[in-house]
Amino acid sequence: MKAARLFSSLYRLKIIQILIPIAIIGLIIWEGQSEFRRINWPAALHTIRHLEPSRFLLLLAVSFAAVGTVSGYEFVLRRHFKLPLGYWETFRYSWIANTSNSVIGFAGIAGAAMRTFLYRSRGISVATITASIAFQSTITITGISLLAWGDLTGLFTAGSVIQAHPWTYYALWGMALYLPGYLIFQRSPFYAKWLNRDLPRMNASTIAASVGASLLEWLCAGIAFWFVASALLPGLQVRTGLGLYTIAATAGLISLAPGGIGGFDLVALYGLQALGYPPEHCVAVLVLFRILYYLLPWLVGLAMGILEFASGRRKESGAIPEPLTGVFNGWQRLWTFPGQHLWISELGAWALGKLVFISGAVLLLSAATPGLLYRLRFTEELLSEPIMRISHQLSLIIGLSLIVLSRGISHRIRRAYQWTLALLCAGALFTFAKAFDYEEAILLLIVALLLYLSRSRFYRVAAPVGRRVTAAWALITLVMVYLYNVIAAGTQPRFLHYLPQAQLKHLILDRNEHTIAAVTALAVTWLSFTLAMILRPSPLKTPGASLAERDKLREFLGRNPGNLLTHLLYSGDKSFFWACGGRVLIPYALIRSRLVVLGDPIGDSRLISKAVQEIQSFADNYDLDVVFYQVSPANLPVYHENGYRFFKLGEEALVHLPSFTLSGKANTNLRTVKNRFEREGYSVQVMKPPYDGPFLDRLRVISDEWLNGRREKGFSLGWFDPAYLQQGEIAVLLGAESQILAFASLAPAYDGRQTVSVDLMRHLHDTPNGTMDFLFIKLLEWSKEEGYAVFNLGMAPLSSVGETQAAIREEKLAKRVYEYGGYWYGFKGLRRYKEKFSPEWEPRYLAYPARLSLPVLLVDLIILIARRPKIEKKA
């Protein structure tokens, strides 16, 4: 219990660590929304786009060097905790953990998780990892605390910001006092026990090294910020840039958001504008700094993390190729390319999908902003105006197409990979021909190369595409076209103002031409993908079992035992998956992206696990999840080892016929019902197929009256279908005048006449009370006479679900539904009714993959059962 309470407390703490930054970011956005509306965002993007390549590379180099200084923390940790890491490993782990934390790390969660994974791969103990993370969390802020003293003492100049926003003065004082507090705290017994791991107290050199590493990181980050700002804001002094960065970084730390996003940006924006710079250029500085110091280093760290993961995988499998030497081996490496680089495929479809989306957005941005003058002149000399305009139009179409295809890449669809690879190469060609935009072309080709190297990951035939997904992507393309039009309208007039040659104006599209091009691209993209959806290989079809398949089922059951749900397979609405060379049968139906299996697989019990893996692989080709509905407790270990979680659906009432009797005080009411109906001339007859038309017509009248306009249900329930009723015996309740008043179809379990279940039960409305009790009593007696051992009365949904304190929250909610949901469904009444026959209750479970949302899945199952699929009548 203590461990559970501790876990619960830690879970709440993590939630708070995430919610607080989100709330602060929301407040910052609310506070700065008026400021953001004043900014001409297209002009800001225009400023970044026309930065000279040489200057951009210099800023990139400075930013990467600044990020590299963060490894100083790791080297202090390495020395203090005597970690078994080399110099390159220390630097690499630092880059991976810290860049991830800067981009996605709420309150340090991402960095701590990444560092834990990396350290564990080197065999470092959890206690040491925990202590090292706690150690670093205390020294990280000491550097900016020193910089804050620089602001307060006048070493850095940022007085205009403090005057405009006095609260920053108090924030600086709070940050400045952290360093003295840290120096005192690190001498305390608590620090020695929990953060220093009872090692000897840090000496002066270790303290100096830790504070120096922090100061180096923050100072270099401030210099990188000044470098970026000075490239776009002429005349900005170093002292002013560092002072402004210190105040903005302090605000970012207070927000607890990753990279200080929101707080840092708003304060820096206020500060730069207070110095007299235009808002568009100030925003360009912040966007460029985010890209150079945060986003691009994180992408490099992501690639490093992939290498670490792939290296660990190879070490575990023992598949570490030895270095190849010699000319022959060199040719062999070239011939098998990229076989020796399969680690690149670990990049993951999700990351490639995002890169493809970004590539499409880059193409749209490139088309919305005009090329540089000297490039336009150069391109005009090589290409004609029609070719350049056609290239512009095709760039728009390809950009929108890539945005749509990114979903297929994320879902690992083979045809999406083929189309995307072709469009990336074509997009690189057309953006190059549009205005000699080689930067965008290089980016598209790099993404195409990564896609090609990861081609083995794209194996799926299709993925479900519903109306919601289609509507969502239609909306996304509309938004992207709108943004394209806004950016194009904001940049074109500014550019035309600087054109020195009138003859070049015909190469630049005006606002109306951009709108026409955007609408044309949108129409072509939608039309193309509509045709692709019509002509594509169909997703998994589930027409149900044909007559031929049901004949095969009958032969299969002659060799293998069935289960309590097997008879429902003759209804024809379930499709059949034959696994393990036809030795195991798995019946299923499809609802949205879930392939729902009815009951346990049928066949050789030794092959159940292998059969589950086969249908998982089969479904994965169509991007579907496999769910097992109403499985028995006996096979739970099999599902567990194949990655499933469980939800208790209820309990099935099983009457053991050899011990069934109406004698005794407990069965007085049943005896009374039986005696009364027999005395009044009622009887029950069990009919055997085949049944003639008039007989089935009479049953249909009873069924229709019982339904009273309600729809039939399916999947796990039988329904009135003459072909289905012909598959089993039917018990009819006859009145005093031998008229049929009620009926119940029987469903054998195909286990050597050991078990039989009741299926459809229908009766007329004017039958006397106790009619169904009498029918059940006679069925139990008949089954016992026929030699059956078990009679299945059916399941009591949500019975005995969520009763223990440790039950999952969804089962506890189900318990409330069971207790208070009698208005919609008689859960308790159904359980009490079946209890009168003294059954044994056996639980039934839902086995589902952990990644699925259980509430959404339960809704899908309700919809699946409530519908009646079309059935194929012909073989």
State pLDDT tens for residues 797-807.
Answer: 887 777 777 77
Cα 589 to Cα 568, 629, 732: the distances in Å are 12, 11, 31
Q: For residue range 664-708, list pLDDT tens digits in order.
A: 887 888 889 889 998 888 999 999 989 998 999 999 999 999 888
- Residues pairing with 842 in the sheet: 652
Q: Which of 505, 535, 565 is the last residue of a domain?
A: 535
Q: For residue range 52-105, list pLDDT tens digits in order.
A: 777 888 888 999 999 888 888 788 878 777 778 888 888 888 888 878 777 765
Is residue 719 included in any domain, yes or no? yes
More confident: 373 or 811: 811
Same domain, 818 and 682: yes
Q: For strands 594-598 and 740-748, give the pairing.
A: unpaired
Is residue 185 included in any domain, yes or no? yes
- Among 276-280, 648-652, 729-733, which stretch is predicted with the lowest mean pLDDT? 276-280
Same domain, 290 and 349: no
More confident: 561 or 436: 561
Residue 748 exposed, middle or buried by CB count within 10 Å (0-12, 13-18, 19+): buried
Alpha-carbon Rg of the chain, whole angstroms? 36
In this structure, the number of other CB atoms found within 10 A of the CB of residue 629 comes to 24
Same domain, 249 and 347: no
The average pLDDT across 585-604 equals 91
Q: Which amino acid is at 494?
A: R
Instruction: Report the sign of the C-alpha dihedral through residues 274, 278, 283, 286, in that order.
Output: negative
Same domain, 676 and 751: yes
Are the C-beta atoms of 306 and 70 separated by less than 8 Å?
Answer: no
Provide the percentage of residues in the chain whose pLDDT is more than 70.
Answer: 73
Residue given tokens 């056996």 in the structure block: 842
More confident: 194 or 574: 574
Is residue 204 included in any domain, yes or no? yes
The average pLDDT across 750-771 equals 89
With both helix axes pointing from N to C terminus, report the angle between 167-176 and 238-255 in degrees, rounded to the nearest 10.
80
Q: For residue range 497-551, list pLDDT tens digits in order.
A: 444 444 444 445 556 666 777 788 778 877 777 766 655 555 677 777 888 888 8
Is residue 168 included in any domain, yes or no? yes
What pLDDT, on a 0 to 100 scale, did the predictor assign at position 28? 46
What pLDDT, on a 0 to 100 scale, did the predictor assign at position 490? 60
How far apart are the C-alpha atoms of 655 and 840, rounded to whole Å? 6
Is residue 833 included in any domain, yes or no? yes
In this structure, the number of other CB atoms found within 10 A of the CB of residue 681 comes to 11
Q: Is the pTM of this model over 0.75?
A: no
Which residue from 352, 459, 353 is spatially nearest to 415, judged by alpha carbons? 459
Same domain, 84 and 212: yes
Name the DSSP class of 1: -
Same domain, 413 and 304: no
* Alpha helices by DSSP H, 349-413: 349-368, 373-382, 385-410
Q: Kindly tell me if the per-residue pLDDT of 859 is higher than 70.
A: yes
Is residue 72 included in any domain, yes or no? yes
- Among 454-458, 554-558, 690-694, which stretch is predicted with the lowest mean pLDDT? 454-458
List phi, psi (to 5°) of 274. -65, -25
Q: Is the peptide bond before 278 cis (omega within 30 degrees of 0)?
A: no
Cβ-Cβ contacts under 8 Å for 252 (sequence gap 6 or more)? 259, 260, 261, 262, 263, 264, 267
What pLDDT, on a 0 to 100 scale, did the predictor assign at position 789? 92
The mean predicted confidence, pLDDT, of the chain is 76
List phi, psi (to 5°) of 685. -120, 140
Residues in the chain: 875
Q: Kindly tell me if the per-residue pLDDT of 320 is higher than 70.
A: no
Q: Kindly tell me if the per-residue pLDDT of 21 is higher than 50.
A: no
Same domain, 97 and 196: yes
What pLDDT, on a 0 to 100 scale, did the predictor assign at position 491? 54
How far apart are the C-alpha atoms of 556 and 481, rounded to whole Å? 57
Q: Give Cα 658 to chain centroid, integer Å.
A: 51
Provide the percentage of residues in the chain whose pLDDT is more than 90.
Answer: 15
Is residue 602 included in any domain, yes or no? no
Which residue from 474, 589, 476, 591 is spatially nearest to 533, judged by alpha carbons? 474
Residue given tokens 């009766």 in the structure block: 763
What pLDDT, on a 0 to 100 scale, did the predictor assign at position 336? 37
More confident: 555 or 279: 555
Scored b (16 or more CB within 10 A) or e, 276-311 reads ebbbbbbbbbbbbbbbbbbebbbeebbebbbebbbe
Are the C-beta atoms of 763 and 706 separated by less than 8 Å?
Answer: yes
* Alpha helices by DSSP H, 536-593: 547-559
Q: Give Cα 63 to chain centroid, integer Å.
A: 32
Q: Kindly tell me if the per-residue pLDDT of 220 is higher than 60.
A: yes
What pLDDT, on a 0 to 100 scale, did the predictor assign at position 51? 73
Same domain, 369 and 430: yes
More confident: 51 or 546: 546
Same domain, 165 and 216: yes
Same domain, 291 and 377: no
What pLDDT, on a 0 to 100 scale, did the predictor assign at position 611? 94
Domain coverage including residue 824: 652-852
Q: For residue range 243-286, list pLDDT tens digits in order.
A: 888 888 887 777 666 556 667 777 888 788 888 888 888 888 88
Q: Kindly tell me if the per-residue pLDDT of 29 is higher than 60.
A: no
Are the C-beta atoms of 288 and 232 separated by less than 8 Å?
Answer: yes
How far apart are the C-alpha atoms of 799 and 654, rounded to whole Å? 14
Dihedral angle of Cα 309, 310, 311, 312, to the nearest 10 degrees? 50
What pLDDT, on a 0 to 100 scale, did the predictor assign at position 388? 60
Is residue 636 included in any domain, yes or no? no
Q: Kindly tell me if the per-residue pLDDT of 627 is higher than 90.
A: yes
Which residue from 875, 797, 790, 811 is spatially nearest to 843, judged by alpha carbons? 797
Instruction: Report the sign of the C-alpha dihedral through residues 479, 485, 487, 489, in that order.
Output: negative
Q: Which of 490, 506, 535 is the last residue of a domain?
A: 535
Residue given tokens 């089993």 in the structure block: 728
CATH of the domain at 708: 3.40.630.30
Q: Which amino acid is at 184?
A: I
Q: Kindly tell me if the per-residue pLDDT of 132 is higher than 60.
A: yes
Number of domains in the chain: 3
What pLDDT, on a 0 to 100 scale, did the predictor assign at position 203? 63
Q: Kindly tell me if the per-residue pLDDT of 198 is higher than 60.
A: no
What pLDDT, on a 0 to 100 scale, did the predictor assign at position 636? 92
What pLDDT, on a 0 to 100 scale, did the predictor assign at position 370? 58
Q: Which of 288, 308, 328 is the last residue of a domain?
A: 308
Same domain, 380 and 438: yes
pLDDT bin (cut points 50, 70, 90) of residue 579 is very high
What pLDDT, on a 0 to 100 scale, did the predictor assign at position 660? 87
Scored b (16 or more CB within 10 A) or e, 19-55 reads eebeebbeebeeebeeeeeebbbbbbbbbbbeeeeee
3-state helix vs strand vs coil in the chain, percent to 5: 65, 10, 25
Are the C-beta atoms of 652 and 563 separated by less than 8 Å?
Answer: no
With both helix axes pointing from N to C terminus, report the angle between 142-152 and 178-185 in degrees, rounded to the nearest 10.
140
Same domain, 215 and 137: yes
What pLDDT, on a 0 to 100 scale, did the predictor assign at position 532? 66
